[in-house]
Amino acid sequence: MNTANLLLISNSTNSGEGYLEYCKQDIADFLKTYGVSRALFFPFAAVTFSYDEYERKVQEKLLPLGVEIESIHRAHNAQQAVRDAQAIVVGGGNTFHLLRCIQDLQLMEAVRGKALSGAPYVGWSAGSNLACPTICTTNDMPIVEPESLSAFSLIPFQINPHYLDAHPTGHAGETREQRLLEYIAANPHRYVAGLREACMLRLTGGQLTLHGNRPMRVFKAGQPPQELQPADNLQFLLR
């Protein structure tokens, strides 16, 4: 049984809403389930604004709900900060930049071990990608080159956050679905969960559930894509 406790969110902001507005209560409630009052935040997906600003944005949303955020970029000893953390929170942005920074700090195994020991892990967008075996199903441009594409592997399947069904008028390029069909053709052993916006996956006590008001589109080589609802059994994704 998977011993990780995860909240993996597709996106941070819905159209017309404030930052983390739709999911801040879900994050706080999830962390409080495990008695967490202070979480270690990873801001490294930020590229065009500072880590200080990212920490402040998240703190402003979660502190009123009883969860204090401390960014790892302030830690004198990053390895020790991970070991001491009550929970790990990984924000969205550019997935390649996020992964590269965590690799540079040599924190891959430390974070993975922490999460697999049961410490709660929350990620949105790029932070959700990092929970997968690799970051190969991110939507981001590779603005930096990580050592490898391997991620924390807290779950055995891939997530594509911000999954879109749309094919804009006049756009002659590939759709999101076509890109993911390419991925499963090259990686036939792996499932991909297309996680639409305003949706999230929660793994608690070995039980995987979908939350939100939209279905999730699941891809696997040799099978037609499936539309799965929040009430559906998702345990097959963990095998």
CATH match of 6-167+191-216+227-238 with 3.40.50.300: no
Per-residue model confidence (pLDDT) at position 174 = 84
Is the confidence at residue 27, as pLDDT, over 80? yes
Catalytic residue from among 153, 162, 167, 232: 162
Per-residue model confidence (pLDDT) at position 3 = 86
3-state secondary structure of 186: helix
Per-residue model confidence (pLDDT) at position 107 = 98
Residue 217: which pLDDT band, with cuts at 50, 70 and 90? very high
Q: What is the arithmetic mean of pLDDT over 95-114?
A: 98
- Find the helix or strand (DSSP H, E) in which 111 lies: helix 108-116
3-state secondary structure of 177: helix
DSSP string for 33-102: HTT-SEEEEE-TT--SS-HHHHHHHHHHHHGGGT-EEEEGGG-SSHHHHHHH-S-EEE--S-HHHHHHHH
Percent of the chain with pLDDT over 90: 95
Alpha-carbon span 176 to 73, nearest angstrom: 33
Q: What is the arithmetic mean of pLDDT over 156-163?
A: 98
Catalytic residue from among 12, 71, 128, 140: 140
Q: What is the arithmetic mean of pLDDT over 77-91?
A: 98
Alpha-carbon span 164 to 151, nearest angstrom: 23
Please classify residue 7 by burial: count the beta carbons closer than 10 Å to its beta carbon, then call 0-12 exposed, 13-18 middle and 19+ buried. Answer: buried
Is the confidence at residue 145, as pLDDT, over 90? yes
Per-residue model confidence (pLDDT) at position 168 = 67
Catalytic residue at 125? yes
Alpha-carbon span 104 to 52, nearest angstrom: 19
Give the sign of the dihedral formed by CA 221, CA 225, CA 230, CA 233: negative
Is the confidence at residue 150, as pLDDT, over 70? yes
Shortest CA distance to 124 belongs to which of 31, 214, 45? Answer: 45
Contacting residues for 223 by C-beta, under 8 A, at least 6 apart:
none
Catalytic residue from among 10, 12, 125, 128: 125
Catalytic residue at 71? no
Alpha-carbon span 136 to 31, nearest angstrom: 28
CA 178 to mean position of chain CA atoms: 22
Catalytic residue at 171? no
Residue 172: which pLDDT band, with cuts at 50, 70 and 90? low
Q: Please give the mean pLDDT across all residues of the chain.
A: 96
Per-residue model confidence (pLDDT) at position 105 = 98
Query: Using one digit for the tens of pLDDT, what is the confidence trace for 88-104?
Result: 999 999 999 999 999 99
Q: What is the arithmetic mean of pLDDT over 120-132?
A: 98
Percent of the chain with pLDDT over 70: 97
Alpha-carbon span 128 to 139, nearest angstrom: 12
Residue with tokens 């920074």: 101
Alpha-carbon span 197 to 108, nearest angstrom: 27
